[in-house]
């Protein structure tokens, strides 16, 4: 199956280390396509999943697609000198949070770091984070969620706006962005 995304003659993503943060959203399965695309284009992909994300899609799916261990817990059973979140924040060229739930957006805006994803985001340079919200239209348009998004944009976080279209619960704004749009944003951010 051919990718819908045009491949640049010079692959600017090759050899980059990109984290994909997956949160609890029905759109979590769409992140698998992003991970697969990046891996096929020689990107070292590290997937970080919240516990809620694992209710929608298994870590094994991402492990198979990325060919890397999926990180689901802040406290890994294997001993490592460097705290995992600090080591990751120093290694990653970019972190894409997709789908970004209202919950993770609220955590970031409030400075809450209580799981692997929120902790890595908090320890990572803001310029290396892209957030792609995907949720029910009523949740996305909620004034508090919009306030959190505005706060994060003013702070310097980059957002990929959700699309309008079919949602799990109807039609509206909040749809996971297309693969083309996500890859273009990643390439633009990396270059």
Q: Is 100 left (phi over 0), alpha (psi -120 to 50) or beta?
A: beta
Annotated catalytic residue 80: no
Listed residue (185, 57, 60, 58) closest to 132, CA to CA: 185
CA distance linking residue 182 with residue 74, whole number of Å: 27
CA distance linking residue 38 with residue 182, whole number of Å: 11
The phi and psi torsions of 49 (rounded to 5 degrees) equal -120, 140
Listed residue (168, 186, 183) closest to 24, CA to CA: 168
Using DSSP's 3-state secondary structure scheme, residue 11 falls into coil
Question: DSSP for 118-160?
Answer: HHHHHHS-GGGEEEEE---HHHHH-HHHHHHHHHHHHHT-EEP
The phi and psi torsions of 161 (rounded to 5 degrees) equal -65, 140
Residues 15, 150, 169, 188: which is the catalytic one?
169
Q: Which residues are catalytic?
A: 169
């Amino acid at each position: 199956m051919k990718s819908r995304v045009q491949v640049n003659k010079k692959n600017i993503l090759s050899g980059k280390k990109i984290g994909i943060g997956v949160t609890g959203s029905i759109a979590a399965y769409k992140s698998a396509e992003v991970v697969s695309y990046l891996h096929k284009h020689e990107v070292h992909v590290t997937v970080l999943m919240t516990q809620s994300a694992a209710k929608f899609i298994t870590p094994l799916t991402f492990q198979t697609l990325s060919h890397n261990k999926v990180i689901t817990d802040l406290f890994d059973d294997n001993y490592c000198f460097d705290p995992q979140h600090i080591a990751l924040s120093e290694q990653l060229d970019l972190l894409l949070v997709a789908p970004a739930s209202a919950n993770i957006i609220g955590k970031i805006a409030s400075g809450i770091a209580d799981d692997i994803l929120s902790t890595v985001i908090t320890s990572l340079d803001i310029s290396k984070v892209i957030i792609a919200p995907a949720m029910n239209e009523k949740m996305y348009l909620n004034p508090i969620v919009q306030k959190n998004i505005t706060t994060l944009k003013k702070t310097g976080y980059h957002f990929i706006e959700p699309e309008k279209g079919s949602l799990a619960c109807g039609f509206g704004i909040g749809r996971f962005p297309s693969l083309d749009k996500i890859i273009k944003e990643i390439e633009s951010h990396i270059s």
